[in-house]
Amino acid sequence: MIVTVTMNPAIDRTASIEALHPHALNRLGRVEQDVGGKGINVSKMLAALGRQSIACGFAAGQAGRMVVDTLRAWPGGRITPDFVSLSGETRTNLKLVEPDGSLTELNESGPAATPEQLETLTRKLLDHAGPGTLFVLAGSIGPGVPQDIYRTLTARLRAAGSRVLADADGPLFARAVEACPDVVKPNAYELCQYFGVETTEDPDALIPMGLTLTGRGVGLVCISMGGKGACFVSGQHAWYAPALPVAPRSTVGAGDAMLAGVACGLDRNLPLEDCLRLGMAASAAACTTSGTRPPEPGITEQLLVKVNLVNKR
């Protein structure tokens, strides 16, 4: 069983724009609306891969009801929403996509959660926990949620026998790493920020950082590099996978799709390299759709045979 956790879900509005001009009038082209948040995006991609998931987190107000209702009615019935209600209103995010794929995101902070509501969510997650459950803790947190929440949840869920995948940035990522998740998925910028070095997309520079994390107890480090591909580090082994040649409509959610592919492979008990290939194929497939919509059935499978996983160590 896979449980995704989205503490700060959103209504994602993705708009096309010819060019972004700061401090000037900008006219938007096509605007599409999806329910989102990193964990929810993982659930949507898992559904496209034929896997069931339980989507947990916080939901507030009319927008929160839209999130829950949309997931409950998801085609194929592969997503089961199990959210805790908050006061206020679930946030709405605006994502601006330029013709070359450049992305600008304008994200709201989201509603606040009380300590009691956080404890309710924690108990809900622990009720799902056990040796057969894989948790995906992904995305930002709203006001009232402590920055060490992913570390706390990772420790408690792993103590219950579950595997934990964490995808966050800044302090959330730094504290989560302390609890040694089974998988972390930083992008190149987030990883370099964590180590306090200049941002690079050179696999030969990123892989040693991944090795440092696995040396501290993290099981698998998936480093996404956008159009440059991805690096993967497990134990003392490392791989580099070039990005697949697809015509991108939007890169929004590509990293979430990668995490979904890896989670799907782990849940199916596939060999590790097959999990990594599935992550790369799912990420590329997500780029063929606009907004955070999952790809059409069969696209990921078509791309899977094109993944080139190069041993680096």
List active site positions: 256
Residue with tokens 């659930």: 43
Task: Give the C-alpha separation, 160 to 152, whole Å.
Answer: 13
Cβ proximity of 46 and 263 under 8 Å: yes
Length of the chain measured in residues:
313
CA distances from 269 to 209, 274, 294 (A): 27, 10, 23
3-class state of residue 266 by DSSP: helix
- CA 254 from chain centre, in angstroms, equals 8
3-class state of residue 48 by DSSP: helix
Q: What are phi and psi of 29, to 5 degrees?
A: -90, -130
Cβ proximity of 121 and 150 under 8 Å: no
- CA 25 from chain centre, in angstroms, equals 32
3-class state of residue 59 by DSSP: strand
The DSSP output letter for 226 is G
